Chains A and B, each alone.
Chain A
Amino acid sequence: MLPHDTKIVPAFQLRETAYAISREGGRLLAMFANDERPVCGKFVIYCLFSNDGGTVLVKGLLDRDETPEFPSISPEIPAAAWYEREIRDLFGLKPVGHPDPRRLVLHENFPDGVHPLRKDFDTRTPIETVVGGEFPMAGVSGEGVFEVPVGPIHAGIIEPGHFRFSQAGEMMMRLDAKMFFVHRGIEKAVEGQPLADAFYRVERISGIASVAHALAYSQAVESLAGVVPSGRARYLRALVAEMERLYNHVGDIGNMCAGIGFAVAIMAGARMKEAVMQVSDRLTGNRFLRGMVAPGGVRRDIDAATEQAIRTLLDALEPDFTELVGLFRENDELLERMNTTGIVPKQAAFDLGVTGVGARASGVDTDYRRDFPYGCYPDLALSIPVYTAGDVAARLWVRVDETYACIRLIRQILDQMPEGELRLPVPSIPAHSSAFGWAESSQGGVIHWLMTGKDDTVYRLFVRAAAYPNWPALTVAAPGNIIPDFPLINKSFELSYACLDR
């Protein structure tokens, strides 16, 4: 269980402590703050690292009377850059020495001095709207260099984000992204809610990772309550988690072809995704598999007819998918566009803490299902593909291999499905206990950190989706490529904005 080790230091020693762990090969998994002034008179900054021995959690304590600042760890740990900007926006704690002083979460329409995740900020406080504010974008200057602004509303049916390309002719020299347009303040919105109620908001953080978020949250609650769901519940959870991975992967593989206009493959991917979603609907009552996972277990059982429907689906999908992949394997026009395009070098993937498909395509061998086992995964035969090229093609092949692995896994889950209670009661949890919960979504690792309040409510929930560390990798992948390849590079990551923005 996370974390394996905890170090508590005053905030001013955060940098030396973090650097020491990082220099030994530790990798930052997540960083967040919590206003624990009502509990112990302090702000606490949490940094979770993974290392050879497992994980280590560093807690930097900042007394309420101290200047609200801490030494930034971003200069040596680039993965911390966005977390620290977020902490400054939401808590008003300044990362001193941070290389990028811009806001992240709260756009220019928010006035200065609003720090909504502080406990003394009432979420209904009216906030004035700043009109005509500036949000500076990073660029390049020089003769012949020009900028291309794109978004937040894009040409396709996708989520909002603003991209700024600095161009030398067709060549992208730099990419900066302004995100958080769909920031809904979910972490604040669940504060004070009963744990059982907050679940429904958590399940709606992101459509394409509904199961992963529901799982991460439920597992955090269960580890605090000391509940272990029955074998059947754990298998049913894995079933929906793998169905989620499957519909995403086949859809994403098709979608990557939208980046190069290969219509047959786009439509084949879309058709297969629809087939998986229709069976998902039958399994959970929702096409995005909502309504299955719940704290304590699952809300629905599977009947024989549905089980058969899943097996029939897989039997039809497998050869269909193989034919689709056959259209890629030897296709020079397609591979010319994908090979050596949008490379994320292994070191960059490691330094930025990239997770999921993006990491495994760049030679970083990570998968939370194996690295931090949960649910019934220890019983299952996982196969985790790793490619090293770090380009668009590598991300395609990782998804292809994982699609086959997913099909095998779902069959194994159905074969081994044990009997058991669907849902166990969740006993009361003492106030101010905290735990992590996590899951591997189709995009990569999702981490939740939950601290309970009085009477089984949420005191603080921190949500780090896979998109969080992966978005900055896009700004590494794009430069050096031509701008018409950007949609392809972007789709090869297929990152969720809603997951990041929350």
Chain B
Amino acid sequence: MLLDVWRKIITTGTVTRDFDAVVPPACSRGQVVPKAARDGACAACRKCEAACPGQAITVDGEGAHVDDKACLFCGRCVSLCPKDRLEQTAKYDLASLGGVFAGPSPSDTARKIRAALGRSLHIRHVDIGSCNACDFEMTHLCNPIYDVQQYGLDFVPSPRHADLLMVTGVVTRNSTQALQMTYEATPTPKLVMAVGTCACSGKAFGEGYAVRGAVDSIVPVDIYVPGCPPRPQAIIDGVMKALARRIGQ
């Protein structure tokens, strides 16, 4: 029996890759961008704006603008545009910074956090209203392909051991208290990452009776990682941007 286990381990070999070496297929549904200006400008028909399930599009004199943080990457706008002005790319590294990392030059706090946590960051997951796809992508961070421990990142069982909270989902009424208490239980300095479009925008399911909105309506958010769900690489990209670290550095 034990021999079989060893054989399996050895014949499998090493499957771990650098996160940006795992390239998504060209047809994957990533960032939506307006096509470069050429003949046939945006007709300002606002079809995309009306049809967008994430309320991510605004149309003005210059054409359609897509807010990555609210986009569900469904591609509906692209297929409805009568002038073929929009295009869906495979670009996934869309994380942006806020909170302590806001502004062009890093604040003292941001510098301290990067110095203290840059190479060893402990993460606690908090689901407060996700569809579970975002959570599973987070689980996949620990699979042998992405294996985030190679970057000094690890998931811990309690917020008291955590430096970073990865929050998924729109904030529901029923889980608001859990989010607040988890945030309070996390020692400072602490970071919060909104993982997925639900957490970033809070708009995926409208303004219903059960929903309070985006994560930053309840606790301050330092890193936004859009995606529905964000692929594992996109989540790692968010951490790397926040810690000002790239592979090879």
Contacts and interface: CB of A to CB of B under 8 A. Distances in A.
Q: Do A and B come from one complex?
A: yes
Contact of B136 (A182, A207, A267, A268): A207
B209 A123 contact: yes
Given A155-B158, A496-B132, A264 B206 contact: no
A110 interface: yes
A282 interface: yes
A97 interface: no
B125 to A, nearest CB: 5
Interface string A289-310: 0110000000100000000000
Interface stretch (B32-40, B112-120, B172-180, B238-246): B172-180
B231 A327 contact: no
Interface stretch (A157-165, A353-361, A366-374): A157-165
A494 to B, nearest CB: 11
Given A181-B174, A327-B8, A208 B136 contact: yes
A127 interface: yes
Contacts of A404: none
A121 B210 CA distance: 13
B134 to A, nearest CB: 7
Contact of A114 (B5, B158, B209): B209
Of the candidates B9, B24, B208, the one having the most CB atoms from chain A within 10 angstroms of its own CB is B208
Interface stretch (B69-77, B96-104, B214-222): B69-77
A281 B23 CA distance: 11
Contact of B135 (A129, A155, A157): A157
Interface in B160-178: 169-170, 172-178
A208 B72 contact: no
A37 interface: no
A184 B208 contact: yes
Contacts of A184: 129, 169-170, 172, 205, 208, 210-211
B140 A274 contact: yes
A180 B173 contact: no
B121 interface: no
Interface string A255-293: 000000000100110110110010001100111101100
Interface string A86-102: 00000000000000000
Nearest to A201: B205
Nearest to A309: B25
A291 B74 contact: yes
A38 interface: no
B131 A207 contact: yes
A106 B210 CA distance: 9
B51 A204 contact: no
Contact of A182 (B5, B128, B182): B128
Contacts of A2: none
Nearest to B204: A204
Contacts of A496: 132
Nearest to B231: A287
Of the candidates B8, B28, B174, B177, the one having the most CB atoms from chain A within 10 angstroms of its own CB is B174
A497 B169 CA distance: 13
B72 A267 contact: no
A497 B76 CA distance: 28
Interface string B5-39: 10011001001000000001101110000000000
Q: How large is the interface on B (under 10, 10 to 19, 20 to 34, 35 or more residues)?
A: 35 or more
Given A123-B207, A274-B143, A285-B27, A160 B175 contact: yes
A206 B76 CA distance: 20
B86 interface: no
A153 B208 contact: no
Contacts of B169: 182, 184
Interface string A153-176: 101111110000000000000000
B143 A273 contact: yes
B224 to A, nearest CB: 18
A147 B133 CA distance: 32
Of the candidates B75, B133, B155, the one having the most CB atoms from chain A within 10 angstroms of its own CB is B133
Interface stretch (A23-31, A62-70, A185-193, A454-462): A185-193
B140 A270 contact: yes
A267 B144 contact: yes
A124 interface: yes
A201 B53 contact: yes
Given A129-B173, A201-B204, A281-B25, A185 B135 contact: no
A314 interface: no
A107 B174 contact: yes
A233 B208 CA distance: 34
B173 A107 contact: yes
Given A116-B210, A158-B127, 13 more contacts: A109-B174, A123-B209, A160-B175, A181-B128, A204-B133, A206-B131, A206-B133, A207-B136, A270-B142, A282-B28, A291-B29, A326-B4, A498-B132
Interface of A: 106-107, 109-110, 114, 116, 121, 123-125, 127, 129, 152-153, 155-160, 180-186, 188-189, 197, 200-201, 203-208, 210, 264, 267-268, 270-271, 273-274, 277, 281-282, 285-288, 290-291, 299, 323-324, 326-327, 330-331, 496-498
Interface of B: 1, 4-5, 8-9, 12, 15, 24-25, 27-29, 51, 53, 72-76, 79, 125-140, 142-145, 155, 157-159, 169-170, 172-178, 182, 204-211, 228-229, 231
25 contacts: A109-B176, A116-B210, A123-B209, A129-B173, A155-B157, A160-B127, A182-B127, A182-B172, A183-B172, A183-B174, A185-B211, A201-B53, A207-B131, A271-B12, A271-B144, A273-B143, A274-B143, A281-B231, A282-B25, A282-B28, A286-B29, A290-B29, A323-B4, A323-B8, A496-B132
